[in-house]
């Protein structure tokens, strides 16, 4: 039997990292077992579903490398099939027409709320055999006085008394199918063998198991992942807009870093922290998924992002940098030296890109207020001496630049820091940078002197 998993997001918002983790686990489980990973867009909520959110889901998944097998399934295209299933259950007396009005149900909810009890539909029309010429919904006849058993691959065996479940709606009064029915129908159509999703779907799973049974179908295996929580213990959701995959991409996070972080957010393999894609596929198993909610840690994600940034090879660095700056006109040897220098000394990708920007800039660079202060605090005679002595260097190398600056410091009873700091401030506009000797070498003599004269 071919293992088939699926990721089934609703296009009502940007792809959230919680959804991305669910997609990742489904992808890895399928690939580990030489199976198929499918994508279904659950777009039956006409008011909230937007094509721009569907496009975001596609782009974000491709950016993360979570490529799906076969064509995308749109749930809205299967509505007629879903309706036919509801009618089938109705004709087989496994479902019934419920004529309760919205007002009646709302009144029952209020009564339950006042009594501080959870609301559950009272099955008023369950055994009614007549017909009325008025709107109705179709509800499932839950098999009463029985139990439904879920053998979950993460949670273990979970049992529920069917009497605790209400006769849920499978077809609305406007003849549109509900989520509960559509999911079961489409999982069957897609031949899904394994459903891996958040444990907030646990109650839904029992209802769906009952539907599978009433329809005479073998259900898929289920695995429920504990949700991701914030540091304060609250559940993350689409409302946490800053936790969308798109915004992490815009914040200069690498897809490999985000994937690695999401993989470890609730799953582990010994003490191993970093995984290549091939290792993740090879080692992933559901037994490694914890039962407790995982806490999202931005600092940890930043650490992992820097780990992957530092591992980028020259080709990858060139690709990253060319997405922001035109670098094709520069000599390969110069670019290689420049990119590797700033990769080694940068504390973040944004820091790296800012460094590349001021190094390649042909315009006047912007000098920060702190950098201006450094220049102001340096005596005019030292600033003049720096320009004069650097101008006299014949062979413009980092070694010769270092020797010259050390000589200035020694002859004026100053520390090298007191000489390097105003130079750094003038040529980079910052108070921190990679080795100032290397920075000046890469900038070139002409550009260096031009920036020094302008700033000093």
End-to-end CA distance of the chain: 74
| Whole-number Å distance between alpha carbons of 100 and 102 | 7
Distance CA 441, CA 398 (A): 5
**H-type helices in 393-444, by residue range?**
398-411, 416-428, 436-443
Tokens representing 47? 């008011």
Q: Which long-range contacts (CB under 8 A, 24 or more apart) does 364-368 make?
A: 364/454, 365/427, 365/428, 365/429, 365/451, 366/429, 367/425, 367/426, 367/429, 367/455, 368/429, 368/430, 368/431
Phi and psi angles of residue 281, each rounded to the nearest 5 degrees, phi first:
-65, -45
Q: How many alpha carbons fall within 13 Å on the CB side of residue 45?
A: 14
Give the containing element (helix H, strand E) for 226.
Answer: none
Structure tokens at 456: 């000093």
Out of 120, 238, 251, 357, which one is annotated catalytic?
238
Torsion angles phi and psi, residue 224, rounded to 5:
-110, 120
Partnered with residue 96 across adjacent β-strands are 139
> Among this protein's residues, is 238 annotated catalytic?
yes
Q: Do 154 and 225 contact (CB within 8 A), yes or no?
A: yes
Of 393, 396, 401, 384, the closest CA to residue 435 belongs to: 401
Residue owning tokens 């006109």: 329
Q: Please report, for residues 83, 212, 263, the alpha-carbon distance to residue 235 in angstroms, rounded to integers and kept in the order given.
A: 34, 30, 18
In terms of Cα–Cα distance, which of 76, 58, 50 is closest to 7? 58
> Whose structure tokens read 């008025």?
134
Identify the three-state secondary structure at position 297: coil
Burial 139-167 (b: 16+ CB within 10 A, else e): bbbbeeeeebebebbbbeeeebeeeebbb
What gap in Å lies between CA 355 and CA 439, rounded to an integer? Answer: 10
Q: Which residues 6+ apart lie within 8 Å of 6 measured at CB?
A: 26, 37, 38, 39, 40, 187, 190, 192, 195
Task: Tell me which residues are annotated as active site.
Answer: 238
């Amino acid at each position: 039997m071919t293992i088939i998993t699926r990721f089934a997001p609703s296009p009502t918002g940007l792809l959230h990292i919680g959804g991305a983790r669910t997609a990742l686990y489904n992808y890895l489980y399928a690939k580990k077992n030489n199976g198929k990973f499918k994508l279904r867009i659950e777009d039956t909520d006409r008011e909230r579903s937007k094509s721009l959110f569907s496009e975001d889901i596609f782009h974000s998944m491709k950016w993360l490398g979570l490529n799906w097998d076969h064509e995308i399934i749109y749930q809205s295209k299967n509505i007629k099939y879903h309706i036919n299933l509801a009618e089938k259950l109705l004709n087989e007396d496994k479902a019934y027409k419920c004529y309760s009005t919205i007002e009646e149900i709302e009144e029952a909810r209020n009564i339950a709320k006042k009594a501080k009890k959870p609301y559950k539909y009272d099955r008023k029309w369950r055994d009614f055999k007549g017909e009325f010429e008025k709107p109705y919904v179709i509800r499932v006849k839950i098999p009463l006085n029985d139990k439904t058993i879920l053998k979950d691959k993460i949670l273990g065996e979970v049992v529920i008394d069917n009497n605790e479940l209400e006769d849920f709606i499978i077809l609305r009064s406007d003849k549109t199918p509900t989520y509960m029915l559509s999911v079961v129908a489409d999982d069957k159509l897609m031949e899904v063998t394994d459903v891996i999703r958040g444990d907030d779907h646990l109650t839904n799973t029992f209802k769906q198991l009952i539907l599978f049974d009433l329809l005479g179908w073998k259900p898929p295996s289920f695995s429920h992942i504990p949700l991701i929580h914030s540091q304060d213990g609250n559940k993350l959701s689409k409302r946490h807009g800053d936790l969308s995959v798109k915004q992490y991409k815009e914040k200069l996070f690498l897809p490999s870093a985000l994937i690695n972080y999401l993989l470890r957010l609730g799953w582990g393999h010994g003490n191993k922290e970093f995984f290549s894609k091939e290792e993740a596929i090879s080692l992933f198993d559901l037994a490694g998924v914890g039962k407790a909610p995982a806490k999202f840690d931005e600092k940890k994600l930043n650490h992992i992002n820097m780990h992957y940034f530092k591992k980028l090879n020259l080709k990858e660095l060139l690709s990253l940098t060319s997405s922001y700056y035109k670098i094709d006109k520069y000599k390969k040897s110069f670019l290689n030296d420049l990119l590797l220098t700033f990769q080694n000394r940068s504390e973040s990708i944004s820091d790296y890109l800012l460094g590349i920007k001021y190094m390649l800039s042909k315009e006047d660079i912007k000098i920060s207020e702190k950098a201006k202060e450094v220049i102001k605090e340096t005596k005019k005679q030292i600033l003049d001496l720096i320009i004069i002595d650097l101008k006299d260097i014949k062979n413009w190398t980092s070694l010769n630049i270092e020797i010259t600056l050390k000589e200035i410091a020694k002859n004026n009873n100053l520390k090298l820091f007191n000489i390097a700091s105003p130079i750094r401030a003038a040529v980079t506009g910052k108070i921190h940078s990679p080795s100032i000797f290397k920075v000046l070498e890469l900038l070139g003599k002409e550009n260096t002197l031009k920036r020094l004269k302008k700033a000093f």
